[in-house]
Chains A and B, each alone.
Chain A
Amino acid sequence: MSDFDPQEVVLRLFLRLRSNLKLGVSEYLAARQAAVEADFAADAEALEDTLKLIWCHSLIDYTQFDPAWQSVLAQVQAQRRRRPPFPERRRAASDLRQRQIESVSQQQSPVAMPQMTQREKRSDPEMRALPVQAPTLFMPEENVATLQSYYPISRRSLVYNWRYLRRPVADGPKTVLDIAATVQQSTRQGFYLAPVYVRKLRNAARLLLLIDQNGSMTPFHHFTRDLVETASKESSLDPENVEAYYFQNVPAGSVFRDPYLTMPVLLAEALATCDESTSVLVLSDAGAARGYRMRDRVRGTIRFLQQLKRYTTLLAWLNPMPESRWEGSSAEVIAQSVPMFQMDNEGLSNAIDVVRGQPLKHGNAGGA
């Protein structure tokens, strides 16, 4: 390992890990800069540690880094071993290859094993040193992400997205000191009289969550739980203004107050609190998880949606299944009558745009 070239390793490794570790060009430049210094890249081990420091940002990242490091190091070493000692030799070798190809094309005989015969014919030792390029180098990097668990949206981005659901109304007590207005007022009057207070802002947005539970939604229970928890506890929404009702497959007649479907409430009663400014999010796979296309389900759902639209138009549907799986199932039909989004970061933020009354004007979001 005398001629260990850190820069080459850095570049290869960067290309491989870039998308998985979410690295940018400046991270590459930083790694390059560090790799020049002997302190940080004296040998392979030191470089490995340096790159980990710069590129990995959690212990989980190490599990992606380690295999990539091993294979890149192996590649670089293998390539160095293969490199012929003199450039002339290399050219000679390529000439030889040219000659070999010609000879093969000249022969063109339907021999069962042409390579065997060639090797037998040529006893020239130089032939064995013939450089063969490893085909592995430009293989597309394997996607590690598929091996990880399906977690399209993190809790953090849930919390983050909820913050866009706001309807600030200044109707709290007059307790907030407006410093700028105070200074301005006393400047205008020429003397200071009293501080200027303004009313406290309150988030008046109301949210109604209707969540499909059990059955095909069982794998997504942790999403739905996170969704309800973040909306009611970790968002800027007033907890009183967040309501969650549960149903199975289709909300018909009655919905449930608890996720275990034991406390039924009449649907009409649940919707009674709904006014035209209430945002409604329906969370269901709409049959996409199992790929069903059932007329009953579609009809029941459409009827329910029509009932809902009498109360509010701020309505969106979140589907935990990716959009590619909706095709052919009831979800595809239902998506025609309601803005339906897949439940990832972008989908949720689009859905929240819809339920706050500012839908996207462009793009192909939703089916409505």
Chain B
Amino acid sequence: MTVVERLKFYGDRPQPESAHKDAPQQPEPYVVTEPLKKAVNLALFLRRPLLLEGDAGCGKTRLAYSVAYELGLPLYRWDVRSSTRAQDGLYEYDAILRLHDVEVQKIAGAERPSVQTEAEAEDPDEPPAQRDPGNPKHYRTFGPLGKAFRMRDRPAVVLIDEIDKADLDFPNDLLTVLDEPWAFTIRETRETITADEQHKPIVIITSNKEKGNLPAPFLRRCLYRYLDFPNQTDTLKKIVQRHYEIQSEAAPTDELQTAAADKFLTERKNLKWFKPPGTSEFLDWLKALHAFEDDPYSTGQLNADTHLPYRELLFKRQDDWRNSAKAS
């Protein structure tokens, strides 16, 4: 048995040379806090799904990118919608296409296309250009989770985004797959796809708690971390610096950063928000302060302002907008 190197996430390492082709290409400007780092490492170690909850715009989704980038692992993102079923993440089978191919073949004559063997196919996950209707395997495509189950040399990161949007049964159906023996069956081709014992997928799940709680048996399997909004000026500044560092643009002056972060945090704390702004809104706002006009917004002016400049970027609801006008 080969000893597999244990994966460890640090949050600030560059991408390894041998990164998978499906790994994120761009470095992710993400400042990972100590508790969050630990949660990721524990999820890597126990291979249990990591459930992240928190306000919108706290970086729940970006974490998966950051993990996949640093470890050089492929990232398969699965956006959940209200009509999503658990099977969609595993595979899809195109029976209509197969029927179509049979008809076309009949019309085009008896000549069968040169049959590709499994080994010849460039990518076993993708259907080949020359499909053979006699081979049902040519008509199945794997979903994000299915791809992750087929990884043999390294695990894959699967991001299941906004799981709370899905139908009631969805988490429970998912649970049967994300547990021993980590396998699922494709009914149409009679294949059983089993995840490699050493390379089980790393599952990161985000939820907004939009539609109530997730079922208890599902929660029991998951590691849970609530993401707080970065409530310190220093943390916010660190995030800003990381962003500008990676985009290699001129960062706003330290003064402006501090003033903006202070102002933003006080507003965020003092006002009664219906939809509090997240980190991404802050970054946009700072960018506007810094570069929208020809000259950056003056720090003194910002501190003296009773009304925030560029309010459009922060207040996304009419009642919030009205409150902000009243409070200041």
Contact = CB atoms under 8 A, between A and B. Distances in A.
B213 A154 contact: yes
B46 A57 contact: no
Interface stretch (A34-42, A307-315, A354-362): A34-42
B129 interface: no
Contact of A186 (B39, B99, B224, B225): B99
Interface residues of A, number: 34
Contact of A24 (B39, B96, B99, B220): B220
Contacts of A27: 220
A53 B168 contact: no
A31 B232 CA distance: 32
A33 B46 contact: yes
Given A53-B42, A183-B99, A22 B220 contact: yes
Interface in A14-31: 22-24, 26-27, 30
Given A156-B215, A183-B99, A50 B42 contact: yes
Interface string A150-181: 00001110011001000000000000000110
A350 to B, nearest CB: 20
Contact of A54 (B102, B168, B223): B223
B246 interface: no
A69 to B, nearest CB: 16
Interface residues of B, number: 30
B224 A34 contact: no
A39 B41 contact: yes
A49 B38 contact: yes
Contacts of A23: 220
B212 interface: yes
A192 B99 contact: yes
B224 A37 contact: no
A113 interface: no
Contacts of A163: 168
A160 B212 CA distance: 12
Nearest to A29: B46
A26 B221 CA distance: 8
B274 to A, nearest CB: 20
Contact of A155 (B99, B212, B220): B212
A183 B95 contact: yes
Of listed B215, B216, B221, B223, residue having the most chain A CB within 10 A: B223
Interface in A239-288: none
B310 interface: no
A34 B99 contact: no
A58 interface: yes
Contacts of B251: none
Contacts of A37: 45
Contacts of A182: 95-96, 99
Given A163-B168, A179-B95, A182-B99, A57 B42 contact: no
B95 A53 contact: no
Contacts of B39: 53
B219 A53 contact: no
B222 interface: yes
Contact of A57 (B51, B95, B212): B51
Nearest to B225: A53
Contacts of B212: 154-156
B224 A53 contact: yes
Contacts of A180: 95
Of listed B46, B99, B221, B222, residue having the most chain A CB within 10 A: B46
B212 to A, nearest CB: 5
A39 B212 CA distance: 34
Contacts of A159: 168
B95 to A, nearest CB: 5
A86 interface: no
Contact of B224 (A26, A58, A156): A58
A138 interface: no
B215 A57 contact: no
A57 B216 CA distance: 9
Interface in A52-111: 53-54, 56-59, 61
Given A34-B46, A154-B213, A183-B99, A57 B222 contact: yes
B18 to A, nearest CB: 24
Interface string A298-324: 000000000000000000000000000
Contacts of B22: none
B106 interface: yes
Contacts of B51: 57
B226 interface: yes
Contacts of A183: 95, 98-99
Contacts of B113: none
A191 B106 CA distance: 9
Given A30-B48, A39-B41, 6 more contacts: A39-B45, A40-B45, A57-B219, A57-B224, A156-B168, A156-B212
5 contacts: A30-B48, A34-B42, A39-B38, A57-B220, A156-B212
Interface of A: 22-24, 26-27, 30, 33-34, 37, 39-40, 46, 49-50, 53-54, 56-59, 61, 154-156, 159-160, 163, 179-180, 182-183, 186, 191-192
Top 5 A-B residue pairs of the complex, sorted by shortest distance between their CB atoms: A57-B219, A57-B224, A53-B223, A179-B95, A156-B212
